[in-house]
Chain A
Amino acid sequence: MLNRGSALGGVLGSFWVLVSWFGVATTPAQAQKASPPAASVKLGIVSFLTGPAASPFGIPGRNGAEIMIEAMNGGKVPAPFNKVGFGGSNIEAKYIDETGSAANVVTEFRNLVQRDQVDAVIGYVSSGNCLAVTPLAEELKALTVFYDCGTPRIFEEKPRSYVFRVSPHATMDNVAAARYLLAKKQDVTSYSGINQNYAWGQDSWRDFAGAMQVLAPKVTVDKTLFPKLFAGEYGAEVSTLLTSKSQVLHTSFYDGDLEAFIYQEQARALDKRMTIIATTGEAAIWRLRDKMPNGSLIGARGPNGPLAPDSEFNRWFQKIYSDRYNIPPTYPAYQMAMSLLGLKLAYEKAKKGDAKPTSDEVAAAFKGIEFEGPSGSVKLAIGDGHQGISETAYGTYRFNKEKNEPEIVDVMRFPAECVNPPAGINADDWIKEGMKGAKC
Chain B
Amino acid sequence: MAKQGRIAASSALLAAAAVAALVLPGWMISLATIAFANGLVVLGLIVLWRAGLVSFGQALYYCIGAYAVALVGRWTGMTDALVLALIGGGSAGLVAFGVGFLLARYREIFFAMLSLALSMILYGLLVKTESLGSTDGFSVIAPTFFGYAPHQQALLVALYWLVLAICAVAALLVGAYFRSVGGALAIPLRDNEIRVEFLGMSASRLIHTKLVISGLLGGMGGALAALAVGHVDPNMSYWTTSGEFVFITILAGAGSVVPAFVGSLAFESVRSFAFAMLPQLWQMLLGSVLLLTILFLPQGLGSLIMRPRWRRDAEAP
Contact = CB atoms under 8 A, between A and B. Distances in A.
Q: Which 6 A-B pairs have the closest CB atoms?
A: A5-B303, A3-B316, A132-B231, A20-B269, A198-B135, A13-B262
Interface string A218-242: 0000000000010000000000000
A183 interface: no
A153 B136 contact: yes
Contacts of B133: 131, 153, 199
A423 interface: no
A197 B231 CA distance: 21
A151 interface: yes
A96 interface: yes
B177 to A, nearest CB: 17
B147 interface: no
A101 B268 CA distance: 12
B250 to A, nearest CB: 12
Interface string A94-129: 011100011110111011011100000000000110
A2 B230 contact: no
Interface in A6-25: 6, 8-10, 12-14, 16-17, 20-21, 23-25
B279 A6 contact: no
A136 B230 contact: yes
B34 A107 contact: yes
24 contacts: A2-B9, A4-B303, A5-B303, A5-B313, A6-B258, A24-B273, A95-B279, A102-B232, A102-B235, A102-B236, A103-B229, A106-B230, A108-B272, A108-B275, A110-B30, A115-B28, A128-B137, A128-B233, A131-B136, A131-B137, A135-B231, A153-B133, A202-B130, A206-B130
B273 to A, nearest CB: 5
Contacts of A49: 279-280
A132 B262 contact: no
Contact of A6 (B134, B136, B259, B269): B259
A24 B316 contact: no
B299 interface: yes
B266 to A, nearest CB: 5
B23 interface: no
Given A6-B259, A106-B230, A131-B231, A114 B316 contact: no
Interface string A136-162: 100110000000000101000100000
A355 interface: no
A131 B268 CA distance: 22
A24 to B, nearest CB: 5
Nearest to A108: B275
B267 to A, nearest CB: 9
A2 B2 CA distance: 5
B136 A16 contact: no
Given A24-B272, A101-B241, A135 B25 contact: no
Contacts of A14: 262
Contacts of A198: 127, 134-135
Interface in B79-112: none
Contacts of B6: 2
A197 B269 contact: no
B136 A151 contact: yes
Interface in B287-317: 293, 297, 299-301, 303-304, 313-314, 316
Contacts of A79: none
Contacts of A322: none
B263 interface: yes
A140 B225 CA distance: 19
A17 B269 contact: yes
Nearest to A127: B136
A9 B259 contact: yes
Interface of B: 1-2, 5-6, 9, 25-28, 30-31, 34, 127-128, 130, 133-139, 151-152, 225, 228-233, 235-236, 241, 252-253, 255-256, 258-259, 262-263, 265-266, 268-273, 275-277, 279-280, 282-283, 293, 297, 299-301, 303-304, 313-314, 316
Given A6-B258, A96-B279, A101-B236, 10 more contacts: A1-B2, A2-B9, A3-B316, A6-B259, A8-B303, A9-B303, A102-B231, A113-B27, A114-B27, A132-B229
Nearest to A9: B300
A311 interface: no
B314 A3 contact: yes
Contacts of A4: 303
B87 to A, nearest CB: 20
A215 B69 CA distance: 41
Interface residues of A, number: 56
Contacts of A132: 137, 139, 229-231, 233
Max count, chain A CB within 10 A of own CB: residue among B6, B233, B255:
B233
Given A101-B241, A102-B233, A114-B25, A23 B279 contact: no
Nearest to A229: B135
Contact of A139 (B31, B152, B268, B314): B152
B283 A107 contact: no
Contacts of A50: 280, 282-283
A108 B277 CA distance: 12
Contact of A97 (B232, B258, B279, B313): B279
B19 to A, nearest CB: 16
Max count, chain A CB within 10 A of own CB: residue among B136, B225, B282:
B136
Contacts of A114: 25-27
A27 interface: yes
A103 B266 contact: no
B269 A97 contact: no
A101 B235 contact: yes
B72 to A, nearest CB: 18
Contacts of B275: 96-97, 108
Contact of B300 (A8, A24, A135): A8
B59 to A, nearest CB: 10
Contacts of A103: 34, 225, 228-229
Contacts of B263: 13
B230 A135 contact: yes
B225 A13 contact: no
Nearest to B277: A27
A142 B251 CA distance: 35
Contacts of A157: 139
